Amino acid sequence: MRKEMVRRARLARTAASIVSVFAVLALANPALAGDTPLISQNPVGAAIALSVEPPAIGYCRDKDAGRAMTCAIEECEADGGQSCAAALWCAVAGQAGVMSGYNVQLGAANLFATCGQFSPEGVEAVLRAKCEIDARNAECAMMSVWSLDGVREDKAPR
């Protein structure tokens, strides 16, 4: 089981590296970028802020990382978070998501986030690899997913 989790994590890192290389190439070569919403000459980034207790999520998109992070923290606080902190910035927003994992040993939840993904399946694969790499996480469940347009879909009651 542990080897499988390590393999998944390596695959997720490799996929993320490939995506990053493609994004850099596309940004450097306008002919590759085309008119796709994910890769453009002037990409919109995404920021995610999280609070574990109580669970809360903030997500904002902007071309400026500072504005996006400030917005995400404010959105997390508006979502009920009391200890919201910046968790992740992706220079190319892509699709994003947050997964919770219940750590049996600590008796507490962990939150995992990703952004810059090309598909909902990619979002879930990366998050599942992050969650399952720690064998103490008994349950890994999707919480929310954001589309390329930044529309949030809650996957589980919070």
According to the model, what pLDDT value does residue 94 have?
95
* Dist CA 136 CA 2 (whole Å): 11
Residue 6 structure tokens? 């390590």
Q: How confident is the model at residue 138 (pLDDT cuts 50, 70, 90)?
A: confident
Cα 102 off chain centre by: 18
The string of pLDDT tens digits covering residues 23-54 is 433 443 343 344 455 455 678 999 999 998 88
Higher per-residue confidence, 115 vs 156: 115
The string of pLDDT tens digits covering residues 62-119 is 999 999 999 999 999 999 999 999 999 999 999 999 999 998 888 888 999 999 999 9
Q: Is the pLDDT of residue 19 over 50?
A: no
Q: Is the pLDDT of residue 22 over 80?
A: no
Q: How confident is the model at residue 2 (pLDDT cuts 50, 70, 90)?
A: low
According to the model, what pLDDT value does residue 157 have?
62
Handedness of CA 77, 83, 85, 87 (dihedral sign): negative
